Structure 1
Amino acid sequence: MNPIDRQILQIALPSIVSNITVPLLGLIDVAIVGHLGSPAYIGAIAVGGMLFNIIYWIFGFLRMGTSGMTSQAYGKRDLPEIVRLLIRSVGIGLAVALCLILLQVPIRQAAFQIIRPTEEVREMATLYFHICIWGAPAMLGLYGLSGWYIGMQNSRIPMYIAITQNIVNIMASLSLVCFFGMKVEGVALGTLIAQYAGLLMGLVLWMNRYGKLKKYIVWKGVLQKEAMIRFFQVNRDIFLRTLCLVAVTLFFTSAGASQGEIILAVNTLLMQLFTLFSYVMDGFAYAGEALSGRYIGARNRKAFTDTVRHLFIWGAGLTVLFTLVYASGGNAFLALLTDDRNVITAADTYFYWALAIPAAGIAAFIWDGIFIGATATRGMLLSMAASAVSFFAVYYGFHTVLGNHALWLAFLVYLSMRGAMQTLLSRKVMEKSFH
């Protein structure tokens, strides 16, 4: 196997495993409360889980920004800066977590004003939220650690952390619910324990694998003005980009819901095809983050160019594979998710939109990783903002004529626009990275 392909797969494959395990934490909680005898328990976990997904999604810049800057420092072999980046990222993550804990009541109240759950669900979701919010230091600390590990070309440790969290979550939640008679609070405590188990695992593995870097742990330079300005500029762009992404995603769900339960169910099921594709492609995006940043830091333009080319070759192959699999087995997959014939029949009308997702989204995923590695976050923000505008323009321009088809058309235009704009910006990014 080509050395570049080997490097890509060494980072991509463990990252894919990590990505797939992430939703398992939520699924485990739902499966446990689903046997407690009331649908309100499921509703409470769904509402609480959605709130934390959005909160942590918004602060995902802590992982992405750290990954790009660390990979460049790794390429330069700048060990003191590598350690300073870890301290900065984890420190800022813990500061943000403290703010979330202090503001937990107004955050919860604002969220419930938007979601408006039933009184029973609200009561249980409140209990779940005020327990799980104490996991924010663990989760945001892990974001910094995970981004740092990927920047260090090591995606195996994040995989071990994710697997540990799932095992601990299953054991703790089941024990608290089955043996101690707890309900929603047991599931919330199980999740909380799993989050801190993951952080502990991450720290123990750091000591084991990178303990020799302890000699570089000095506070001098951590808060250096220029370094902090760059850190916040990179993360500000990613933060604003994430807000655009969240806006499109939430609007997609809400626009489907406004068309009735059947359309909402259809869109939710078909989006699972996008989610599966994204789990795999994100693994290759992580490889792009680590390797492109490394070669930019090392000033190795040829290795960078070869890596970009090989990432797109892998992306093209996976696009063909996913399209063929979805075309041949997509309906069978939907049948596994639901036995409602009305939903499955309605899904046939929109299925061809889902078939186009891999081709429309491939460039966006690959370029995202490369741009993060290059810390070209302004280009990411501009392309995402323009794509979000195009999404809303297409939807509002055609929804009266095309109905739900306009929503899917807008989503595919949005994905394609992201990739197209980043392709146009890529030459400028490369020139700036190697000037």
Structure 2
Amino acid sequence: MNKEILRLAIPNILTNLTVPLLGMVDLHLMGHLNSSVFMGAVALGGVIFNFVYWGFAFLRMSMSGVAAQAFGKGKDQDMALVLQRGLMVAFGGSVLLLILQVPLANLSFWLLEGSDGVKAIARDYYYIRIWAAPAAISLMVFYGWFLGMQNALFPMIISVSVNVINVICSFLFVRVFHMKAEGVALGSVVGQYVGLLMAVAFFFLKYRWAADFFTAQMALIKRGFRRFMNVGGDIFIRTLSVIAVFTFFTSRSAGIGNDTLAANSALLQFMLLFSYFLDGFAFAGEAMVGRWFGANDKSTLNRTIGHLFKWGVGMAILFSASYAIAGNQLLAFFTDQADVIERGSHYLPWVIALPIVSFASYIWDGVYIGATASVAMRNSMVIAAIGFFFVPFFILFPAIGNHALWLSMLLFMFSRGVFLTILFPKLLK
């Protein structure tokens, strides 16, 4: 069982780690310019794309669970149509984003807090990176579908390639051509379109048979579309709750001050590094749980979940210990500005505690997505966001300031794991 988990988890870990590492490189490039406003601007601009891309993350999540269950049942046509439906939604959503990019920017920067200098740089970043949206959203579909096909290798190769190209281009544009925030934005655009071309090439290399099942008959497309969108809709609401928490976190950080925004953005990378690492095991859980759920093999399903949680505990202890030992050194990687490093060190203990209190929520996400138990995911996330992030923050902020943001984040992550643990027995009925 552990061998099968690692076969899927290791490629997913390598795939996922390129995402926070890319964010770290972007902050490193901006953090070694002559002002903290550049770090803040990339963080603020990134919030908008977190909102956009995480909003479409329901495609990857619903794709992997539904496709894995079709794989478990051995239904080739269903597998192919899952991909077609996902690409249709991705195309429609991408076109809409490009058409509405200006009003989206105006609304976003009106809602977000931050100084005029930070917002001006963030706008330049936004209007370049928005053109990566069609490729980025389509890649979510391919990643989810490949994983549902029990293939974690293709997403790993594509994602690593995307982010390596992104890093190289960002260094080239910033260090050689002396671009600033717009340089890392352009690096993202180049990387995403190279990744999309690779995904299409891999699809025709191994799954050409699926293209034969693509159809223009709306009756066939609609047949499974309702279930796909019901699952996707629940996950969309669930994801909006996550977006609301992280968007508010960054926006409120900006409202406190440029140095706090820079410090919180750097510390948030610690949390993202752990979450993307552990999501490698969660993604393995999606594929395996979906397969055994589709095959109605509850015994193997339960054993899989037990092993996943053992890995989760081990990784949480490892990351918390690493942050306790090397946290200040990691902060120094992001920036050479003493005020930002000093402020970040003050809030580091919250980040050290996060892996221990949050690991269960990530593992359960993989289990619930594989089982397409989207209603429980949606409800638990909404309750955790409102009751355990926003309410504690507004009560505590006047007394403890920025500490209230980190404490609320801790409560939010912990409560998610608790709720999903309580709801799990109903999943198998």
Superposed pair shares fold, TM > 0.5: yes
1:365 is aligned to 362
Give the counterpart of 1:227 among 224, 228, 233. 224
Q: 1:427 aligns with which of 421, 425, 428?
A: 425
Match of 1:8 in 2: 5
Q: Give the CA deviation at 1:116.
A: 7.2
Q: Call closer, same or farther: CA 1:425–1:221 in 2, change over 3 Å.
A: farther
Aligned to 2:86: 89
Which of 404, 407, 411 is equivalent to 1:413?
A: 411
> TM-score, with normalisation over the residues of structure 2?
0.88
Among 381, 390, 393, the alignment partner of 1:395 is 393
In the alignment of these two chains, the number of paired residues is 428
Residues 301-329 of structure 1, C-alpha deviations (whole Å, 9 max, x = no match): 11111100000011111122222222333
Deviates more, 1:220-229 or 1:278-287: 220-229
Which runs of structure 2 are paired with 1:128-207 in the superposition (5 Å)? 128-170=125-167, 188-207=185-204
Cα distance between partner residues in 1 of 2:399 and 2:274: 30
| Structure 1 residues 158 and 326, CA gap change in structure 2 (3 angstroms) | same
Comparing 355-364 with 207-216, which one deviates more in the overlay? 207-216
TM score, norm. by length of structure 1? 0.87
**Structure 1 residue 196: Cα displacement:** 1.6
**What is the aligned partner in structure 2 of residue 57 from structure 1?**
54
* 1:298 counterpart letter in structure 2: A
Structure 2 residue matching 1:356: 3-state secondary structure: helix
CA shift in 2, pair 1:269/1:137, >3 Å:
closer
Query: CA, structure 1 residues 338+30, in 2 after alignment: closer, same or farther (shift >3 Å)?
Result: closer
Instruction: Give how far 1:83 is off.
Output: 0.3
Deviates more, 1:23-32 or 1:406-415: 23-32
- In 2 relative to 1, CA 152–414 (structure 1 residues): closer, same or farther, beyond 3 Å? same
Instruction: Give the Cα separation in 1 of the matches to 2:414 and 2:234.
Output: 21
2:67 paired residue number:
70
2:322 is equivalent to residue 330 of structure 1: no
Distance 1:319 1:190, change over 3 A: closer
Amino acid corresponding to residue 129 of structure 2 in structure 1: C
Task: Note the C-alpha offset of 1:279.
Answer: 1.6
RMSD over aligned CA atoms reads 3.2
Conserved in 1, the CA contact under 8 Å of 2:254 and 2:261?
yes
Q: Which has the larger radius of gyration?
A: 1
Q: Aligned equivalents of 2:318 and 2:173: distance in 1?
A: 43
1:274 Cα deviation from its structure 2 partner? 1.5
Is it true that 1:242 corresponds to 2:242 in the alignment?
no
Q: CA deviation at 1:21?
A: 1.4
User: Measured at CA, do residues 39 and 336 of structure 1 come closer, stay the same or move farther in structure 2, by a change above 3 Å?
Assistant: closer
Give the superposition deviation at 1:24. Answer: 4.8
1:153-187: CA deviation from partner (whole Å, max 9, x where unpaired) = 11211111112223443565667788989887776
- Whole-angstrom CA distance in 1 between matches of 2:337 and 2:177: 36
| 1:15 Cα offset (Å) | 1.4
Indicate the SS of the match to 2:419: helix
2:374 to 354, 374, 377: 377
Q: Residue 299 of structure 1 is aligned with which of 296, 316, 321?
A: 296
Once the two structures are overlaid, the 10-residue window that deviates more, 35-44 or 50-59, is 35-44
Contact 2:36/2:258 (8 A) holds in 1: no
Letter of the 1:199 partner, please give it.
L
Cα deviation code 1:87-113 (max 9, x no counterpart): 000111111001111112211222232
Show the counterpart of 2:316: 319
Report what 1:287 is aligned to: 284
Query: CA 1:357–1:222 in 2, change beyond 3 Å: closer, same or farther?
Result: farther
Distance in 2 of aligned mates of 1:374 and 1:308: 12
| C-alpha spacing 1:46/1:267, structure 2 compared with 1 (3 Å) | closer
Aligned partner of residue 216 in structure 1, secondary structure: coil
In 2, Cα distance between the equivalents of 1:176 and 1:274?
Answer: 28
User: Greater shift after overlay, 226-235 or 346-355?
Assistant: 346-355
Distance 2:71 2:327 in 1: 42
The one of 3, 16, 21 equivalent to 2:18 is 21
- Aligned pairs (5 A) from 1:76-115: 76-115=73-112
User: In 1, Cα distance between the equivalents of 2:117 and 2:404?
Assistant: 36
* Separation of aligned partners in 1, 2:215 and 2:113: 48
Letter in 1 for 2:13: I
- Aligned residues with identical type, % of pairs: 41
Q: Residues 103-132 of structure 1: CA distance to partner in whole angstroms, max 9, x if unpaired?
A: 122112222323477778767655554443
Task: State the structure with bigger RCO (CA 8 A, min sep 6), 1 or 2.
Answer: 2
Q: Secondary structure of the equivalent of 1:387? A: helix
> Which amino acid is 1:138 matched to?
A
Letter in 2 for 1:78: K
